[in-house]
């Protein structure tokens, strides 16, 4: 699993002009499921998202996690993160899990996140989404699990 996370002041996902998920301060995570990923990858990624220290403490150092700040978590499926871009001028999506497999694991991942954190929103799997955000920092990291 791959997650591109951004520390945000706010983020929103719309589908066909309708807001389907939004958060205030917290993390936006664009998430790709790769071939061979399973429940252990999903559990590890939830652990990393909730525990990764990207929020400032009272001294201005990145020492606080999403769990510490009780911020929002917006999870958006994005299979293009799993693309192989090593050669040529067109990405290969061979590393990405098949859509039905990815959707099932992504839904398990979301359910697990919701069991462990109170403020979790999502986009719409497989939909053409518009993602709006205000990146705070800017702070962006790529996580794998």
Give the sign of the dihedral formed by CA 81, CA 102, CA 20, CA 130: positive
Which residue do the tokens 């993602």 mark?
131
Token pair in block for residue 49? 């998202």
Catalytic residue among 14, 67, 69, 78: 78
Continuous H helices in 4-122: 39-51, 66-69, 99-116
Is residue 78 part of the annotated active site? The answer reads yes
Residue whose C-alpha is closest to residue 44's, from 114, 120, 143, 115: 143
Spatial contact of 53 and 62, defined as CB atoms under 8 Å apart: yes
Rg (CA), the chain: 15
Is 6 an active-site residue?
A: no
Identify the active-site residue in 19, 80, 130, 140.
Answer: 80
Q: Is 80 a catalytic residue?
A: yes
- Which residues have a Cβ under 8 Å from the Cβ of 46 and sit 6 or more positions away? 109, 112, 113, 116
Choose the catalytic residue: 6, 55, 79, 106.
79
Catalytic residue IDs: 78-80
């Amino acid at each position: 699993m791959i997650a591109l996370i951004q520390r945000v002041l706010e983020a929103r996902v719309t589908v066909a002009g309708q807001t389907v998920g939004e958060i205030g301060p917290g993390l936006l995570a664009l998430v790709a499921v790769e071939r061979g990923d399973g429940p252990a990858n999903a559990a590890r990624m939830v652990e990393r998202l909730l525990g990764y220290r990207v929020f400032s403490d009272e001294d201005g150092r990145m020492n606080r996690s999403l769990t510490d700040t009780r911020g929002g978590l917006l999870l958006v499926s994005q299979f293009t993160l799993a693309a192989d871009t090593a050669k040529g001028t067109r990405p290969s999506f061979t590393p990405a899990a098949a859509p039905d497999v990815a959707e099932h694991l992504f839904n398990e991942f979301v359910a697990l996140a919701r069991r462990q954190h109170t403020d979790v929103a999502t986009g719409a799997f497989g939909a053409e989404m518009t993602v709006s955000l205000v990146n705070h920092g800017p702070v962006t990291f790529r996580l794998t699990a």
